[in-house]
């Protein structure tokens, strides 16, 4: 049996161990005092001990000192930079997906960023009424604004749309039945399934219709004394095409009134504006469904709305009042920073003519292909100078997507810079993508069809992008 290094050369191993400096000797060195002041003596001590253990393990397995043995302070400083670096790093999103769930979805408008900064620096009237010098409700100011924008009677705000659906169901239908079309029992990212949410809310799901066709009579025949809610779910992350039929919201609202049952629609993304007015594919708007008589509509704050993560329930005051009183509301409520960002974002909608300039999400979604192509043509020469010896660097048309379950089939004409390796093929692309992910501000693209694509739709600052690559 082959002996390990430690068994074969115990004297060598012991000699190498003796070359490792003691923790006290390192802490007493003048060069270490600066990082001790910065990071604290306890952190430095603990890290040096971990480094010493790692060095001993390296010696035992290789019979050699670690490469950093002659530069303990340099290695310690590297660990410190990793220690203080934020886990949430800004990146260049060049994936071609505007609302990228893994990259934080909507980017905030400057007004929202300023609003959050302001409420972080001072006590604010979160739940305090200045007029009556007494406790107020944290949703009130935003609820009034949402009512103005959508025509709702009232509104409730929680931490995301999944929470909004859970709270709505728990309030209106706990222990009773909810009727939903079989074709709308969606699953979205993170294994969020409508049937599972209903189970957690204590509801009994009643499926009606078929996967591709559901009629009004299907809902009507399912209504019993145990029915508490008639519900629709917008299939935002997939589309059924061909021989299909679904019940319109106006029909469902009329059926609810006939049987004195509330109706609700989970819109998921939900746009506050008519997207077609900006040359974009149509997306359902909550005010349309509310005007058609639906009692409650839920939407997300960080998708097409372009704001922070939040769940918004809009609708009839009697149901919103009941939702606000439910014990789960306190567990799911949002903090002052989310409310500040959401309010600032919603106020931008009061002046829709400037939305494309002030709201990043809409600015990127409405960016024209010719403008993006011009950006690619400006960037191509410097990128060729950097990478032309290893890659075929080219400018090419491509298709972007909205993302986050919004309009899954529709694509937006865009333009990209592509990289095809002169040698190495797939491994060279993976290596390049990995190098870009290690930059101080990582660059995130996508690999497809033997090329690495950088879709430039969401690139605002070309100079910052080039500087990042030059590093």
Task: Supply the pLDDT for residue 85.
Answer: 84
Task: Supply the pLDDT for residue 134.
Answer: 76
Residue spans of the domains in the chain: they are 10-84, 92-100+363-470, 110-356
Q: Is 357 exposed, middle or buried (0-12, 13-18, 19+ CB in 10 A)?
A: exposed
Please name the fold of domain 92-100+363-470.
3.90.1150
Q: Is 383 helix (H, G, I), strand (E, B) or coil?
A: helix
Task: Supply the pLDDT for residue 407.
Answer: 67
User: Is domain 110-356 in CATH 3.30.420.40, yes or no?
Assistant: no
Per-residue burial over 240-266, b if 16 or more Cβ lie within 10 Å, else e, is eeeeeebbebeebbebbeeeebbbbbb
Q: Using DSSP bridges, classify how beta strands 227-233 and 263-268 pair: parallel, antiparallel or unpaired.
A: parallel
Q: How far, in Å, CA of 75 to CA of 165, rounded? A: 49
Strand order in the sheet with 177-181: 154-158, 311-315, 296-300, 263-268, 227-233, 177-181, 204-208
Average pLDDT per consecutive 10 residues, the chain (471 residues; last block may be shorter): 53 89 95 95 96 94 90 94 88 96 94 97 89 83 95 96 94 95 74 80 90 88 96 74 79 96 91 90 91 96 95 97 96 96 97 94 96 97 94 96 76 96 84 93 94 97 92 73
Task: Supply the pLDDT for residue 2.
Answer: 42
Task: Supply the pLDDT for residue 9.
Answer: 75
Q: How far, in Å, CA of 296 to CA of 146, rounded? A: 13
Q: Is 169 helix (H, G, I), strand (E, B) or coil?
A: helix
Domain 92-100+363-470 identical in fold to domain 110-356 = no
Q: How far, in Å, CA of 435 to CA of 422, rounded? A: 17
Q: How far, in Å, CA of 57 to CA of 7, rounded? A: 14
- Asked whether the beta carbons of 367 and 453 are under 8 A apart, the reply is no
- Residues for the chain: how many in total? 471
Spell out the residues 6+ positions from residue 187 whose beta carbon is closer than 8 angstroms to its own: 193, 194
Q: Is 146 helix (H, G, I), strand (E, B) or coil?
A: helix
């Amino acid at each position: 049996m082959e002996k390990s290094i430690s068994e074969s050369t115990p004297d060598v191993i012991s000699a190498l161990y003796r070359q490792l400096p003691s923790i006290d000797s390192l802490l007493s060195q003048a060069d270490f005092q600066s990082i001790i002041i910065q990071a604290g003596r306890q952190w430095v001590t603990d890290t040096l001990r971990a480094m010493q253990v790692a060095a001993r393990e390296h010696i035992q397995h290789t019979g050699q000192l670690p490469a950093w043995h002659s530069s303990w302070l340099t290695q310690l400083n590297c660990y410190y930079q990793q220690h203080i670096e934020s886990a949430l790093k800004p990146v260049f999103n060049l994936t071609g997906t505007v609302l990228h769930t893994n990259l934080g979805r909507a980017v905030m408008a400057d007004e929202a960023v300023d609003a959050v900064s302001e409420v972080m620096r001072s006590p604010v009237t979160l739940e305090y009424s200045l007029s009556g010098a007494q406790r107020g409700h944290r949703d009130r100011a935003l609820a009034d604004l949402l009512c103005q924008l959508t025509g709702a009677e009232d509104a409730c705000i929680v931490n995301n749309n999944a929470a909004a659906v859970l709270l709505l169901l728990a309030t209106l239908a706990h222990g009773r039945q909810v009727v939903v079309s079989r074709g709308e029992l969606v699953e979205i990212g993170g294994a969020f399934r409508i049937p599972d949410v209903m189970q957690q809310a204590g509801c009994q799901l009643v499926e009606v219709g078929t996967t591709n066709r559901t009629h009004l009579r299907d809902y009507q025949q399912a209504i019993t004394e145990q029915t508490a809610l008639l519900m629709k779910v917008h299939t935002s992350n997939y589309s059924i095409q061909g021989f299909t039929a679904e019940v319109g919201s106006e029909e469902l609202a009329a059926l609810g009134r006939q049987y004195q049952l509330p109706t609700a629609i989970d819109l998921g993304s939900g746009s506050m504006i008519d997207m077609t007015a900006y040359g974009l594919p149509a997306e359902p708007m909550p005010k349309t469904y509310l005007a058609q008589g639906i009692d409650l509509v839920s939407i997300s704050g960080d998708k097409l709305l372009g704001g922070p993560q939040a769940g918004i329930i809009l609708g009839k005051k009697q149901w919103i009042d009941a939702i606000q009183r439910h014990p789960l509301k306190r567990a799911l409520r949002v903090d002052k920073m989310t409310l500040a960002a959401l309010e600032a974002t919603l106020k931008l909608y009061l002046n829709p003519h400037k939305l494309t300039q002030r709201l990043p999400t809409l600015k990127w979604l409405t960016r024209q292909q010719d403008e993006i192509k011009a950006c690619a043509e400006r960037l191509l020469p410097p990128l060729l100078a950097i990478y032309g010896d290893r890659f075929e660097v080219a400018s090419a048309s491509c298709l972007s997507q909205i993302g986050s379950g919004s309009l899954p089939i529709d694509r937006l004409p865009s333009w990209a810079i592509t990289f095809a390796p002169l040698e190495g093929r797939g491994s060279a692309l993976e290596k390049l993508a990995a190098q870009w992910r290690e930059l101080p501000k990582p660059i995130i693209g996508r690999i497809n069809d033997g090329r690495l694509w950088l879709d430039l739709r969401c690139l605002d600052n070309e100079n910052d992008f080039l500087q990042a690559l030059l590093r």
